């Protein structure tokens, strides 16, 4: 059951044509009944559908070679020989892949913007096998590209040249789950969605939820420090990952897989590997602190006239929904246009410059419903929102979430996409989109803004009919300079990978980058792990 509310009779009339929902008006003549808000449901996002489409469609137009600027020279690593293959086949029988057709999808990133030319894919099942592989590669000076679900957006998960692809896909066992503490321990190759389903059967959820959950793997999520849609509520993986098992470049196994909430015995080494994009070690197992599955989830889709009103809605929402607020996401009208045009998704409310997806997750449907009702009434009477719809039933919730989760997919049908993942003080996040539009004029096909308002994380995406170096030159370094002028981050949650590594200095001082270089040299002296990623080509 879903409800729609609106500010004016005219809008209400328009909305009634869209679907036969109940209404909540600011004049309080018709209100959302408690039933609308209290209907129980099982899960709260449409990740499965989005992930499945992601798998099928891949990305849109554009070249498959990294641009010369993005591609450094091949470093002097050894090349795989027949003797090497004999060794790998001995330790990984049937899982040493050299067939070019089978290698194809592992050599290309999801966006189809980076293509490597690896001739060897290894599929270990155990930590011991990973250790044997790395120990051998290190001694032979063979470069290795660790790979999870290959859903990354910065070219971090595919080889640049002929690096050996080390896939974690077959390391997909759940090791333990403690139903009292909620601590899950599993191998790195477990697909995020499978973990979510496993946990939901036990009344828990993963603290992480992403549009790519049908394909992405937990090891890859941790390696990129993926943020996603629940970060506002459950925090980043730096907090929810309690332990890691990592195989170092020389094959040593670092067992930091403790499943403890508190542990102050020395430096917290696992933190180094969270977000290191496979450059410091290969994550082979993870223990994660999982929240209880909420008993009551509501999703609201709202329209705002200005970004200023959207921010005031966020402020109001934090105050009035408090502990039950679990997501506050936005998309602009350009995103809505792409969803309509390319995916045929229809706008569930009337047209607005900005749209907001708010999710509440709590333990008491009556309490949560009342809070949400009061918030919506206040948001309307103070004219912060112009239109909206509420969903409590699982399928409606999925439909509303897909308006936000499928923007990435819609963009792939719009042309070659330049992607930016920026952290800024929340008041400034949309100004960047406005300035970029003005700066580019009609040189871009679309300039869209969406993202995680609750985390101050903007996804600014720009499309053109095909890859366009002059457009790129207009975007960069403009966008990085703009971000740096606000002390923002040029990578909020996607990592630096191949594409962004040389822009690190816009967000990190040279001392910090130099220290990162020292850490890399200490843990991986030959530099065999995911070369050409994360760290800049020349460390100052």
Ligand X SMILES: O=C(O)CC[C@@H](O)C(=O)O
Distance CA 43, CA 397 (A): 9
What is the spatial distance between Cα 163 and Cα 235, in angstroms, rounded to a whole number? Answer: 34
Q: Are 120 and 97 in contact, with CB atoms under 8 Å apart? A: yes
> What's the min distance (Å) between Cβ of 537 and ligand X?
24
| CB proximity list for 498: less than 8 A, separation 6 or greater | 66, 70, 71, 114, 154, 155, 156, 160, 532, 533
Q: By C-beta, is 387 or 421 nearer to ligand X?
A: 421
Decide whether 373 or 459 has the Cβ nearer to ligand X: 459
Is the Cβ of residue 368 or residue 455 nearer to ligand X in the bound state?
Answer: 455
* Shortest Å distance, C-beta 266 to ligand X: 34
Nearest distance, CB of residue 507 and ligand X, angstroms: 17
Residue 285 vs 471, nearer CB to ligand X: 471
For the stretch 227-230, contacts whose Cβ atoms lie closer than 8 Å and that sit 24 or more positions apart, written own/partner, are: 227/452, 227/455, 227/457, 227/492, 227/493, 228/493, 229/45, 229/327, 229/329, 229/359, 229/401, 229/404, 229/405, 229/452, 230/326, 230/327
Biggest CA–CA distance in the chain, Å, is 80
**CB nearer to ligand X: pick between 62 and 211:** 211
The residues pairing with 144 across neighbouring beta strands, listed in sequence order, are 164, 529
Kindly give, in sequence order, each residue whose CB lies less than 8 Å from that of residue 127, ignoring residues fewer than 6 positions away. 171, 245, 247, 253, 284, 285
Neighbours of 203 (CB within 10 A): 11
- Of the pair 25, 534, the CB lying nearest ligand X is at 534
Task: Compute the least distance from the CB of residue 419 to ligand X, in Å.
Answer: 5
Q: Could you list the residues that contact ligand X (CB under 6 A)?
A: 153, 211, 408, 419, 421, 459, 461
Nearer to ligand X among residue 185 and residue 463 (C-beta): 463
Minimum distance from residue 336 beta carbon to ligand X (Å) = 15
Smallest distance, Å, CB 461 to ligand X? 5
> CA 240, CA 236: separation in Å to the nearest integer?
7
Give whichever of 45 and 127 is closer to ligand X, judged by the CB atom: 45
CB of 154 to ligand X, least distance (A): 10
Do residues 165 and 106 make contact, with C-beta atoms less than 8 angstroms apart?
A: yes
Nearest approach, Cβ of residue 460 and ligand X (Å)? 8
Minimum CB–partner distance for residue 244 and ligand X (Å): 23
Could you give the CA distance from residue 289 to residue 408 in angstroms, rounded to a whole number?
28
Torsion of CA 155, 157, 160, 165, to 10 degrees: -170
Q: Least distance (Å) from ligand X to the CB of residue 512?
A: 24
Is 419 or 533 the residue whose CB approaches ligand X more closely? 419
Residue nearest to ligand X (CB): 408
- Using DSSP, state whether 115 is helix, strand or coil: strand
The angle that helices 192-200 and 47-57 make with each other, rounded to 10 degrees, is 160
Q: Rg of the chain over CA atoms, in angstroms?
A: 24
Instruction: Name the β-bridge partners of 247.
Output: 253, 282
From CA 239, how far away is CA 526, in angstroms rounded? 31
Shortest Å, Cβ 421 to ligand X: 6
Q: Distance between CA 68 and CA 294 in Å, rounded?
A: 48
User: For ligand X, which is the closer residue by CB, 66 or 211?
Assistant: 211
- Rounded-to-integer distance, Cα 251 and Cα 482, Å: 42
Write out 387-421 in H/E/C secondary structure.
EEEEECCHHHHHHHHHHHHCHHHHHHCCCEEEEEE
Q: How far apart are CA 236 and CA 208, in angstroms?
A: 8
Q: How far is the CB of 361 from ligand X (least distance, A)?
A: 18
**Tokens matching residue 421:** 């993942």
CA distances from 300 to 2, 261, 310, 387, 524 (A): 9, 33, 14, 11, 48
Nearer to ligand X, 275 or 531 (CB): 275
Q: Which is nearer to ligand X, 461 or 530 (CB)?
A: 461
Residue placing its CB nearer to ligand X in the complex, 119 or 455: 455
CB of 190 to ligand X, least distance (A): 20
């Amino acid at each position: 059951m879903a409800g729609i509310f609106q500010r004016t009779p005219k809008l209400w009339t328009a909305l009634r044509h869209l679907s036969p929902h109940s209404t909540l008006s600011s004049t309080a003549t018709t209100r959302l009944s408690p039933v609308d808000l209290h209907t129980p449901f099982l899960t709260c996002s449409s990740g499965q559908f989005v992930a499945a489409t992601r798998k099928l469609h891949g990305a849109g137009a554009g070249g498959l070679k990294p641009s010369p600027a993005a591609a450094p020279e091949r470093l002097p690593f050894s090349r795989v020989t027949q003797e090497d293959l004999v060794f790998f086949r001995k330790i990984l029988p049937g899982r040493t892949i050299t067939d070019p057709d089978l290698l194809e999808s592992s050599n290309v990133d999801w966006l189809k913007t980076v293509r490597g030319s690896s001739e060897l894919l290894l599929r270990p099942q155990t930590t011991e096998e990973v250790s044997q592989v790395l120990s051998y590669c290190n001694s032979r000076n063979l470069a290795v590209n660790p790979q999870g679900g290959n859903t990354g957006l910065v070219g971090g998960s595919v080889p640049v040249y002929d690096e050996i692809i080390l896939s974690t896909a077959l390391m997909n066992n759940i090791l333990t789950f403690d139903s009292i503490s909620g601590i899950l321990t599993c191998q790195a190759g477990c697909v995020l969605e499978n973990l979510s389903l496993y946990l939901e059967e036990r009344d828990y959820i993963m603290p992480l939820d992403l549009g790519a959950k049908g394909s992405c793997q937990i090891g890859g999520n941790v390696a990129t420090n993926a943020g996603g849609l629940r970060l506002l509520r459950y925090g980043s993986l730096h907090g929810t990952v309690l332990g890691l098992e990592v195989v170092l470049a020389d094959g040593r196994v670092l067992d930091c897989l403790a499943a403890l909430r508190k542990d102050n015995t020395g430096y917290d080494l696992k933190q180094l590997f969270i977000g290191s994009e496979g450059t410091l070690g290969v994550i082979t197992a993870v223990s994660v602190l999982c929240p209880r599955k909420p008993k009551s989830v509501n999703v609201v889709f709202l329209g705002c006239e200005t970004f200023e009103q959207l921010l005031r809605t966020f402020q109001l929402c934090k105050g009035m929904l408090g502990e039950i607020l679990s997501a506050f996401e936005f998309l602009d009208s350009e995103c809505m246009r792409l969803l309509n045009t390319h995916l045929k998704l229809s706008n569930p409310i009337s047209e607005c410059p900005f749209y907001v997806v708010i999710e509440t997750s709590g333990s008491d449907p009556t309490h949560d419903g009342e809070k949400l009702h009061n918030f919506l009434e206040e948001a309307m009477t103070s004219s912060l929102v112009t239109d909206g719809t509420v969903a409590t039933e699982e399928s409606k919730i999925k439909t509303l979430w897909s308006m936000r989760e499928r923007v990435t997919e819609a963009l792939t049908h719009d042309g070659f996409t330049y992607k930016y993942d920026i952290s800024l003080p929340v008041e400034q996040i949309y100004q960047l989109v406005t300035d970029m539009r003005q700066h580019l004029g009609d040189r871009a096909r679309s300039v869209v803004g969406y993202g995680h308002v609750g985390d101050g994380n903007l996804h600014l995406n720009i499309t053109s009919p095909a890859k366009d170096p002059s457009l790129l030159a207009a975007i960069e370094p403009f966008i990085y300079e703009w971000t740096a002028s606000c002390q923002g981050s040029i990578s909020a949650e996607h990592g630096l990978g191949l594409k962004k590594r040389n822009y690190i200095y816009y967000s990190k001082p040279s001392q910090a980058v130099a220290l990162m270089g020292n850490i890399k040299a200490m843990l991986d002296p030959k530099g065999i792990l995911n070369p050409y990623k994360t760290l800049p080509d020349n460390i100052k």
